[in-house]
Every structure is written in C-alpha cells, then in structure tokens.
C-alpha cells in the first residue's frame, strides 16, 4: 500500500492523497449511502521532482527491469524492486507504477513474496 501511495504521489504531481479502499457504499436499493471525498494527506515532493521521477520511471519500462509492463497503447512509468530473504534462495519482488504516464489515471503495485529470483524478475 505504501509503495502504491508513493507511485500515486509521483503521478499526482507530488500530492499524496489519503487512500480510499472503496468507491462508495450502497444500500439494498443500490442508492449511495456514503461516498468518500478525495483528501490530501500531504505534499512529500515538489511538482518538479515528480516530473523528474516520472521521466526516470519511464526508463525501466522502455529498456530495463520493468520491460514486461510495456504497452503499445500508452506510456507506463514503473519501478521494480527485489529483496533477498536471508538464509534462503528466495526473494520478495515488486513492481509499482502508473499509467498513462503523461496523464495518470491508474496506479498499480504488485508484490510476490518468497519466490525464486528468476520467477520474481519475470
């Protein structure tokens, strides 16, 4: 969740929003009972830094560790990570990013825990 919030803040020009896990709460008659409003949590980075990070996050998708996330429909900004698990041959592997890079609508983070390195990197 935290890495997804980081990706969202970069995509949102440096503004980190309070996460909402639901779009709305509906009653038995499908009428909306509650609908959370977006709320700013804080501004961890400037808009300039967010733009720089977006440019840097295009690289792993274009020719790096996140190349499998490439799309022919729009640019995706992403970053991968891998952590070795001490005393084993397993790793925790993740990717986080957002799309479209030039007008972000979605942020996604995927994690794989306790898998072998080759599987995690693919």
| pTM of the full structure | 0.86
Residue 27 lies in a domain: no
The pLDDT of residue 104 is 97
pLDDT at 51 over 90: yes
Domain of residue 101, CATH code: 3.40.710.10
Tokens describing residue 64: 């790096």
Residue 32 lies in a domain: no
Average pLDDT over residues 60-67: 94
Residue 113 lies in a domain: yes
| Among the listed residues 33, 35, 32, 31, the one whose alpha carbon sits nearest the alpha carbon of residue 23 | 35
The pLDDT of residue 24 is 96
Residue 23 lies in a domain: no
Sheet with 106-116, strands from edge to edge, namely 77-84, 90-99, 106-116
Domain total of the chain:
1
Handedness of CA 38, 100, 70, 72 (dihedral sign): positive
Domain enclosing residue 55, as ranges? 2-17+38-121
Average pLDDT over residues 24-33: 97
Residue 85 lies in a domain: yes
- Sole residue written with tokens 């007008």: 103
């Amino acid at each position: 969740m935290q890495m997804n919030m980081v990706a969202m803040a970069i995509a949102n020009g440096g503004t980190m929003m309070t996460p909402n896990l639901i779009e709305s709460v509906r009653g038995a008659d499908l009428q909306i009972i509650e609908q959370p409003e977006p709320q700013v949590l804080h501004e961890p980075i400037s808009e300039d830094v967010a733009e720089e990070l977006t440019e840097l996050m295009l690289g792993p998708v274009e020719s790096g560790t996140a190349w499998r996330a490439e799309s022919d429909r729009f640019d995706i900004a992403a970053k991968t990570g891998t952590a070795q698990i001490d005393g084993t041959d397993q790793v925790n592997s993740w990717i986080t990013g957002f799309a479209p890079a030039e007008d972000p609508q979605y942020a996604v983070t995927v994690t794989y825990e306790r898998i072998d390195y080759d599987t995690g990197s693919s």
